[in-house]
Amino acid sequence: MFMGEYHQKIDEKGRLIIPAKLRYDLGENFIITRGLDGCLFVYPKNTWESIIEEYKNLPNVKDTRNFMRIFLSGANCENLDRQGRVNISSPLINHADLSKECIVIGVGDRIEIWSSDRWKKLNEENEDNFSLIADKLFKDILN
């Protein structure tokens, strides 16, 4: 399971170090794609394959087709270099508005890559509601 928050830098060539604590579970080959809420999603290959199987079961309606077009067109199969860096494509950098300061977080079955500004804004917007959200989503587990 991926978890934790890591402050990283992306260089001018689009290379970002994936924290060592996340690398093992990520595996040799993994998928980076457009995520929701303005971040990037990073999936281990086996998790990605499970997601694609689930999507095959969705109805062939306009919303599904449009989501799949955007989600899959941004997807790239990647691997880490010897320094533990991944090269992120320009379209994905633009999608997540990545520049110098980035936040890499573990979110259970995936890693998310955020611009520092977007991550800060998301935290500020949800900080006051954190307890309310937890009560609503996990009322039987946390109480």
Beta strands in the chain (DSSP E): 2-9, 15-17, 30-34, 40-44, 76-78, 85-87, 101-108, 110-115
pTM, two decimal places = 0.91
Whether 11 is covered by a domain: the verdict is yes
Whether 39 is covered by a domain: the verdict is yes
Whether 82 is covered by a domain: the verdict is yes
Whether 141 is covered by a domain: the verdict is no
Beta strands in 10-94 (DSSP E): 15-17, 30-34, 40-44, 76-78, 85-87
**Count of domains observed in the chain:** 1
User: In this predicted model, what pLDDT tens digit does every residue of 59-72 receive, in sequence order?
Assistant: 999 999 999 999 99
pLDDT of residue 54: 92
Whether 128 is covered by a domain: the verdict is no
Query: Domain containing 67: what range?
Result: 2-115
Rounded to whole angstroms, the Cα distance separating 29 from 38 reads 23
pLDDT of residue 112: 98
Write the CATH number for 8: 3.40.1550.20
pLDDT, mean of residues 95-123? 96
Whether 103 is covered by a domain: the verdict is yes
Rounded to whole angstroms, the Cα distance separating 99 from 116 reads 8
Whether 52 is covered by a domain: the verdict is yes
Whether 29 is covered by a domain: the verdict is yes
